Amino acid sequence: MHIHNLSEENSVLNTFISEIRDVNIQKDSMRFRRNIERIGEILGYEMSKSFSFKNQKIKTPLAEAEIKTIDNNIVLSSILRAGVPLHNGLLNYFDKAENAFISAYRHHLENPEVFEIIIEYLACPNLEGKTLILADPMVATGQSLSATFEALKPFGTPKEIHLVAVIGAQEGIDFVTKHFPKNTHLWIATVDKGLDNKGYIVPGLGDTGDLAFGEKLQR
């Protein structure tokens, strides 16, 4: 897997990362969502540099201009519900992309430290020969991304696969590396040290879905 860790270079991205981690700023859910969205825009911009481009002639009021535009046929897929702000940020930049949505959540067994990934809803276009962008804000154990990828396989084989995440634990990154094709790209804003005994990223930021949309009842 090709890993692109944007935190290896300092940029304005650091500001947005610091704000989504801050327990005081997190209280403003609208700002939290917007910061995730802005991180998605930055990740999308950097990812776009790896795409294929074609020459396109544009007619201006004065003459013709030749511009290189993206030639990829993109399908943008996100994991509900936490992935929605990240999806929106990417969609701001890839506004012609087709879209896929999948519901994946942790189902805890009798031991609260043990869980399985449950997928209940999936809407997806044909993926054959296309560029699949799979967005999940937090790569903790990596099991959600892996389960999502397995669920998408019946829809066709993408030409390219790009994973987009805000924060990941090294353990989760190692897991997805083993479960995705070797030529997959991971675009991630920052990487944290590890996981706690419940599989949450440390230092991380907490539950992304709850911070963005409010607390939920567990089942």
Distances (CA, A) of 43 to 46, 115, 147, 165, 169: 5, 30, 23, 8, 18
Evaluate whether residue 62 is within a structural domain. Answer: no
Q: Which contiguous run of DSSP H or E holds residue 46?
A: helix 29-48
Evaluate whether residue 63 is within a structural domain. Answer: no
The CA distance from 61 to 140, in Å, is 51
Evaluate whether residue 213 is within a structural domain. Answer: no
End-to-end CA distance of the chain: 34
Give the position of tokens 């993408």. 158
Q: How many domains does the chain have?
A: 1
**Residue-range definition of the domain harbouring residue 21:** 2-53+68-206
Evaluate whether residue 187 is within a structural domain. Answer: yes
pTM of the model: 0.91
Evaluate whether residue 58 is within a structural domain. Answer: no
Evaluate whether residue 59 is within a structural domain. Answer: no
Evaluate whether residue 217 is within a structural domain. Answer: no
Sequence-distant (≥ 6) Cβ neighbours of residue 11 within 8 angstroms:
42
Q: State the CATH number of the domain containing residue 152.
A: 3.40.50.2020
Backbone angles phi, psi at 168, to 5 degrees: -140, 150
Evaluate whether residue 184 is within a structural domain. Answer: yes
Q: Which contiguous run of DSSP H or E holds residue 68?
A: strand 64-70
Q: From first to last of its 219 residues, what are the pLDDT tens digits of the chain?
A: 999 999 999 999 999 999 999 999 999 999 999 999 999 999 999 999 999 999 999 999 999 999 999 999 999 999 888 899 999 999 999 999 999 999 876 655 665 555 566 778 899 999 999 999 999 999 999 988 998 999 999 999 999 999 999 999 999 999 999 999 999 999 999 999 899 988 889 999 999 999 999 987 665
